[in-house]
Structure 1
Amino acid sequence: MSRQTPRAMPDEQQATALERLIFNHRPVVIGLCLLVSLVLFWQATLIRPSTSFEKMIPLQHPFIERMLEHRNDLANLGNTVRIAVAVKEGDIFDPAYMETLRQIHDEVFYIPGVERSGLKSLWSPSVRWTEVTEAGFAGGEVIPTPYDGSPASLDALRDNVLKSGQIGRLVANDFRSSIVDVPLQESYPDPLDPSRQLKLDYQQFSHQLEEKIRDKYQAQNPNVEIHIVGFAKKVGDLIDGLLMVALFFGVALLITWALLLWFTGCLRSTVAVLVTTLVAVVWQLGLMHAVGFGLDPYSMLVPFLIFAIGISHGVQKINGIALQSSDADNALTAARRTFRQLFIPGMIAILADAVGFITLLIIDIGVIRELAIGASIGVAVIVFTNLILLPVAISYVGISQKAVARSKADAHREHPFWRLLSNLASARVAPLSLGLALLAFAGGLWYSQNLKIGDLDQGAPELRPDSRYNQDNRFIIEHYSTSSDVLVIMVKTAAEQCSVHSTLAPIDELMWTLQNTQGVQSAISLVTVSKQVIKGMNEGSLKWETLSRNADVLNNSIARADGLYNADCSLAPVLVFLNDHKAETLQRVTAAARAFAASHDRDGLQFLLAAGNAGIEAATNEVIASAELRILLLVYLCVAVMCLITFRSFAATLCIVLPLVLTSVLGNALMAFMGIGVKVATLPVVALGVGIGVDYGIYIYSRLERFLRAGLSLQEAYYQTLRSTGKAVLFTGLCLAIGVCTWMFSAIKFQADMGLMLTFMLLWNMVGALWLLPALARFLIRPERLAGQPGGGLLGH
Structure 2
Amino acid sequence: MIEKIAHFIVNRRLLIAILMFIATSFFLYNALQIPIKTFFPDLLPQNHPFVKLIKKHPKFGGTNSVIVGLEVKNGDIFTQKTLQKIIDFSNDLYFLPSVDRTKVMSLGVNKVRNAKITSWGISSPSILFPEAPKTKEGIDQLKADVYSNPTYYGNLVSLDAKVALLKMGFFEDKLQPRLIYKELQKLKTRFEDENTKIHIVGDPYLYGVIFSYLPQTGMFFVITIVAMLLIAFLYTRSLRLILIPMTSACICAIWGLGFIQLLHFNLDPLILVIPLLISATALSHSIQFNRRVNEEYASTGNLRESCIITIKGLFFPGLGGILTDSMGIFLISMIPIPLMNKLGLFMFLWCLSMIPVVLVLNPVINLYLPRMKNAKKWREQRRNGFMESFLLKKIGEINCRPGASWGIVCVFLVFAVIAFYLNMNIKVGNVNEGTPILKDSSQYNQDVKFMAERLPGSMNPMLVVVEGKQEGAIKQPELLKLVDQFQACMAKIPEVTCTLSIVNLVKGINMAFWENNPKYFMLPDSARGVYANLHLLTSGGAEPGDYDTYYDFDFKNLNITLYVENHKPEVINKLLATAREFISTHKTDLAEFKLAGGRVGVIAAFNDSIMVHETTTLGVALLLTGIVTGIIFRSFLAGLLLVIPLSLASWFTFAYMAIQDIAINLQTLPVSIIAIGIGVDYGIYLLSRIREEYAIKGNLDDALKEAIGTAGNAIVLTGIVIIAGVVFWNFSDIKFQAEMGLLLSIVTIFHLLGSLLLLPAMVKIIKPQFLFKKETIAARNSGQEAVSSPLFE
Please indicate, yes or no, whether the TM-score normalized by the shorter chain is above 0.5: yes
How far apart, in 1, do the equivalents of 2:761 and 2:787 lie?
Answer: 22
Question: Match of 2:218, SS?
Answer: helix
The SS at the match of 1:85 is: strand
Matched, 1:554 2:539: no
Give secondary structure in 1 for the equivalent of 2:584.
Answer: helix
1:759 aligns with one of 725, 737, 745: 745
1:27 aligns with 2:23: no
1:525 aligns with 2:501: yes
Q: Deviations over 1:604-645 (max 9, x none)?
A: 321111110110000110111011121021101110110110
Pairwise CA distance, 1:521: 1.9
Amino acid in structure 2 at the alignment position of 1:689: A
Map 1:305-324 → 2, pairs under 5 A: 305-324=277-296
* SS, match of residue 466 in structure 2: strand
Q: Say which of 96, 107, 131 aligns to 2:81.
A: 96
Match of 1:277 in 2: 249
Counterparts of residues 359-508 of structure 1 (less than 5 Å): 359-398=331-370, 400-408=372-380, 415-422=389-396, 423-494=398-469, 495-508=471-484
Q: Do residues 205 (structure 1) and 205 (structure 2) align?
A: no
2:50 is the counterpart of 1:63: yes
Which piece of structure 1 moves more, 276-285 or 451-460? Answer: 276-285
Aligned equivalent of 1:796: 792
- Tell me how far apart the structure 1 counterparts of residues 771 and 290 of structure 2 sit (CA, whole Å): 32
SS where residue 462 of structure 1 aligns?
coil
Give the corresponding residue for 1:671: 657
Q: Secondary structure at the match of 1:401?
A: coil
- Distance verdict in 2 for CA 1:690–1:526, change over 3 Å: same
Check 1:156–1:537 CA distance in 2 against 1; reply closer, same or farther (3 A cut).
Answer: closer
Give the Å deviation of 1:302.
2.6
Cα 1:217–1:773 change in 2 (3 A) is: same
2:91 is aligned with what amino acid? D
1:663 and 1:518, CA in 2 relative to 1: closer, same or farther beyond 3 A?
farther
Name the counterpart of 1:260: 232
Residue identity matched to 2:73: K
**Is 1:598 matched with 2:584?**
yes
User: Structure 2 CA distance, aligned partners of 1:530 and 1:794?
Assistant: 81
**What amino acid maps onto 1:444 in structure 2?**
A
How far is the alpha carbon of 1:132 from its aligned partner?
Answer: 5.0
Gaps of 5+ in 2: 539-546, 776-785
In structure 2, the CA distance between the partners of 1:152 and 1:421, relative to structure 1 (3 Å rule), is same
Report deviation, 1:410: 5.5
| 1:487 partner SS | strand
Q: Separation in 1 of the partners of 2:526 and 2:303?
A: 95
- Letter aligned with residue 70 of structure 1: H
Indicate the residue corresponding to 1:194 in structure 2: none
751-760 or 694-703: which moved more?
Answer: 751-760
1:652 corresponds to 2:628: no
314 and 373 in structure 1: CA distance in 2 versus 1, 3 angstrom threshold: same
Change beyond 3 A, Cα 1:20–1:627: same
Secondary structure in structure 2 of the residue aligned to 1:119:
strand
How many Å separate the matches in 2 of 1:163 and 1:717?
A: 84
1:130 matches 2:115: yes
- Residue identity matched to 1:429: A
Is contact 1:113–1:200 with CA below 8 Å preserved after alignment? yes
Alignment of 1:317-356 (within 5 A): 317-356=289-328
1:545-603: CA deviation from partner (whole Å, max 9, x where unpaired): 33333111223334438332221222121111111111221122112212222222444
Report the alpha carbon displacement of residue 484 of structure 1 after superposing the two structures with TM: 0.7
User: AA paired with 2:791?
Assistant: L
The corresponding residue for 2:553 is: 567
- Indicate if the aligned counterparts of 2:116 and 2:123 stay in contact, CA closer than 8 A: yes
2:677 is matched with 691
Map of 2:712 onto structure 1:
726
In 1, distance between residues paired with 2:707 and 2:629?
19
1:192 alignment partner in structure 2: none
Change (3 A) 1:650 1:98: same
Once residues 260 and 392 of structure 2 are traced to their aligned partners in structure 1, the CA distance between those partners, rounded to angstroms, is 43
Q: What's the CA shift for 1:117?
A: 3.0
Q: For residue 14 of structure 2, what is the amino acid of its counterpart?
A: P
Q: Is the 8 A contact 2:383 2:389 kept in 1?
A: no
Task: Give the Cα separation in 2 of the matches to 1:344 and 1:276.
Answer: 18
Secondary structure (helix, strand or coil) at the match of 1:655 reads helix
Q: 1:105 to 1:431 in 2, by over 3 A?
A: same
Name which of 189, 192, 198 aligns with 1:215: 189
2:100 equivalent in structure 1: 115
Asked if the contact 1:648–1:793 (Cα under 8 Å) also holds between the matched residues in 2, the reply is no
Partner of residue 542, structure 2: none
Cα 1:149–1:323, aligned 2, differ >3 Å: closer, same or farther? same
Secondary structure, counterpart of 1:128 in structure 2: coil
Partner Cα distance (1:317, 1:785) in 2: 21
Q: Which runs of 5+ in 1 are unaligned?
A: 1-13, 188-198
Do the aligned residues in 2 keep the contact of 1:131 with 1:163 (CA within 8 Å)?
A: no
Deviation at 1:476?
1.9
1-structure distance, mates of 2:261, 2:666: 23
Which amino acid in structure 2 is aligned with residue 433 of structure 1?
I
Task: In structure 1, give the amino acid aligned to 2:749.
Answer: L
Deviation per CA, 1:174-221, whole angstroms, max 9, x where unpaired?
22232222111134xxxxxxxxxxx422122212211x2112332xx4
Distance 1:678 1:387 in 2: 35
Distance change >3 Å, CA 723–CA 246, structure 1 → 2: same
Q: Distance in 2 between matches of 1:536 and 1:42?
A: 68
- Please state how far the C-alpha of 1:420 moved relative to its aligned partner: 2.2
SS in 2 for 1:112: coil
Equivalent residue pairs, number: 768
After superposition, give the CA deviation of every residue in 1:216-236 in whole Å (9 maximum; x if it has no partner).
Answer: 332xx4432211111101111
* Distance in 1 of aligned mates of 2:365 and 2:700: 36
* CA spacing shift, 1:533–1:262, aligned 2, 3 Å: same
- Distance (whole Å) between structure 1 residues aligned to residue 428 and residue 414 of structure 2: 26
- Paired with 1:498 and 1:552, the residues of 2 have a C-alpha distance of 13
* Post-superposition offset of 1:160: 4.0
CA RMSD of aligned residues (A): 2.5
1:462, 1:749 within 8 Å by CA — same for their partners in 2?
yes
